[in-house]
Structure 1
């Protein structure tokens, strides 16, 4: 069987694991708990290729308990019940440890089947997931486990893993496997924090590497041929997607054009044109808004152009619009105002529409005041007249406050003059 390199070189001890020093460094609570031999129920959460499965296997294989391994992508309730049958038998005398990979794929009923045995300690659960456990794991199960986050590996962590792999490959290949320094650094950077991905590329290149006087020789050009599309971690339905689009909008809101372009590039390289366009439109309306109201049709035109020409040319109108949004003055006054109005409506604070605004021209016999009495604003000086528009319940409410940007302050000054408020 052609076993993948990442599997062949999987670390056997916690000290050999690359990265995750916030958990695995000497003296950390996680490390000390594991070394104590008393294994609690745990859920490992983080991106792929960061060591979740490796750490779980090391813990399981050194626990002294009967180990059962299941994968959420393929196991069912029957497989879980088969594990639970060992409870109270000779096979489970030392305790049962269930290692459940990709737990997010189990449905609620399957997850619930584990509750009782985890509660009474007859089974110890170590589960791993690439999705946010607070969204994908049943709350009752989650409350019985401690969640540990595994973070994306740094380039230095990945490079350490690559060098360890080169050393072991040299031993198994019966000849040196040599990689140029720039090739090693490039592979570490291009892996996007995923050591498994880096080792997969390395495995591929080693097979094709020519033999020279130093052994199998891997160059930068060879690495570049297999990593051109591997540098970015992205899943349109997962946390990576939401992290990138969040960073994209927050960078525009924070007026950092360089960061905004970076995250736009990541979205476009992943082919996610819809998300790039949607968040751009939202940001123009929510974060620039009335500070530069003309930006909304401008950004809409850029989005239309991007969708018309498609990728890769779509990057040009989107870059124009992203830079315009990032460098424009900001105001969220409209955002705050509509949210406040919606909150009142949702809370039931509405009331009858004032008579003068109603779309009817006949009063019933019981009406205390007859006649619509609507004042047509254009019949008055400056096209404005003082009258009540909000329902009685809300007549003194103010949802909108002028922002401190030039455009809104100009509007504030205009209406203060018209309404005579500048003389108060």
Structure 2
């Protein structure tokens, strides 16, 4: 099943789909490769976005002796052997270590790379789908460049599918392209693998086109999403049901989306947004639970992650609701756009004699506005008397009594947000 992926793997920069910001003409990484000046780097991005393919370009365009490792399987002992070899031959040849899933090495183990990088024994390129600022130790981060890869767009995936169809001589209808590009969620490897499976089914049926009937054979009657409008309709109903505190309706639309083949990661992301947008400070634990659910979805996967989603949906549906944080940042951004020329007050600047009053020298609080003089009467955040936010309301009204007149606002203006 990996044959087509290998055939489609880019051989030149022109073959690359997406990643123009780092591999387009004149972009940093492309210039480094073309000039055969490779730096130690961490490639960071989602699965199937081109990290390994870029490594192949480096292999093609440069004269480094490349050693591949995978952090999930390689041992520190294996790595050390190559590091020692690199040290011995550094005056003779250029060595490059490519460590896929480098985050699998814990932060202490990652220290083995430091001396060699520092001494110029070799170039290290690590690849990871995890946030390097969390998973890579600080000493190593300070010695490498972070290269961020973007998730491929639907258009990028369609481009790859059309290249695949030229090779396999099995075309796709528009709705088949829509299906594959949607369920692959920006993962080129997944998309091509799925195309190969669908091509196999089409050939078995004596067809040279992947159409609706082939998709039904693959995933079952009505188990795929062709209708983009229905995708957004279900997502909208799902979010509005949670916002409206109706767990039964929310669970129903959750089930509908899953039955239609929706990516559970999309659902998890929407729950994280909703936790801040609609629940916010009325129950700050909502964001923690939504973020934990997103992790569980990635870690567990289907079908079991449905249980994690169900628990989260019930919690968010029954949590107290407040959109005060959403309204607050909306108001603040509106004013920020209009007041870009206003200077930061002198007493907030970082130099001796600015007049800054250190709150800890005065019991932890000084009743003095930190806004520029021109905006001193502005209030962006109006807490609500709902859930845990009721206590926040009491705190800000007590702290800022006489400076900020919360009492003058009888009703907070809320914006309506369409999903």
Question: How far is 1:199 from its partner?
Answer: 0.9
Aligned to 1:137: 136
Q: Secondary structure at the match of 2:73?
A: coil
Larger Rg: 1
CA deviation vs aligned residue, 1:136-179 (integer Å, no higher than 9, x gap): 0011111111111100111111111111112222xxxxxx3232
Shift of 1:5: 3.3
What is the CA-CA distance between 1:97 and the residue it aligns to? 0.5
Contact 1:288 1:330 in 2 (8 A): no
Alpha carbon RMSD of aligned pairs, Å? Answer: 4.7
Which of 215, 218, 223 in structure 2 is aligned with 1:223? 215
The verdict on how the C-alpha distance between 1:201 and 1:227 changes in structure 2, with shifts beyond 3 A counting, is farther
Please say if 1:37 is aligned against 2:31: no
The alpha carbon displacement at 1:84 in A equals: 1.2
Q: Which stretch shifts more, 55-64 or 38-47? A: 55-64
Correspondence for 1:196: 189
Shift of 1:311: 9.6
Aligned counterparts of 1:331 and 1:403: Cα–Cα separation in 2 = 18
Tell me, what secondary structure is at the counterpart of 1:86? helix
Closer/same/farther in 2, CA of residues 28 and 3 from structure 1, 3 Å limit: closer
How do 1:273-422 and structure 2 match up within 5 A?
286=280, 349=363, 398-399=399-400, 402=406, 405-407=409-411
Say whether the 8 Å CA contact 1:39–1:124 is kept in structure 2: yes
- CA-CA distance at 1:349 after TM superposition: 3.2
Q: Tell me the distance in 2 between the aligned counterparts of 1:397 and 1:92.
A: 69
Partner of 1:11: 10
Work out whether residues 277 and 318 of structure 1, in 8 Å CA contact, stay in contact via their aligned partners in 2: no
1:112 aligns with 2:106: no
1:123 deviation in Å? 0.5
Residue in 2 that maps onto 1:72? 71
Q: Which secondary structure state, in structure 1, belongs to the residue aligned with residue 177 of structure 2?
A: helix
State the shift of 1:9 in Å.
Answer: 2.9
Q: Say yes or no: does 1:48 pair with 2:47.
A: yes
Q: Is the 8 A contact 1:50 1:194 kept in 2?
A: yes
Q: Give the length in aligned residue pairs.
A: 300
Once the two structures are TM-superposed, the CA of residue 105 in structure 1 deviates from its matched residue by 0.6
CA contact (8 A) 2:32 2:38 kept: yes
Contact 2:277 2:325 in 1 (8 A): no
| Alignment partners' CA distance in 1, 2:74 and 2:91 | 21
Instruction: Look up the match of 2:264.
Output: 270
Aligned residue number for residue 172 of structure 2 = 179
**1:193 counterpart SS class:** coil
- 1:361 corresponding residue in structure 2: none
Do structure 1's residue 103 and structure 2's residue 102 form an aligned pair? Answer: yes
CA distance in 2, matches of 1:405, 1:147: 47
TM-score by length of 2: 0.58
Is 1:11–1:17's contact at 8 Å kept on the other side of the alignment?
A: yes
Structure 1: distance between partners of 2:28 and 2:152: 20
Shift in Å at residue 61 of structure 1?
Answer: 3.9
Contact 1:4 1:200 in 2 (8 A): no
2:149 corresponding residue in structure 1? 150
> TM-score, length-normalised on structure 1?
0.58
- In the TM superposition, residue 43 of structure 1 has moved relative to its aligned partner by 1.0
Change (3 A) 1:26 1:223: farther
* CA distance in 1: counterparts of 2:192 and 2:53, whole angstroms: 14
Equivalent pair of 2:66/2:97 in contact (CA under 8 Å): yes
1:227–1:142 Cα change, 3 Å? farther
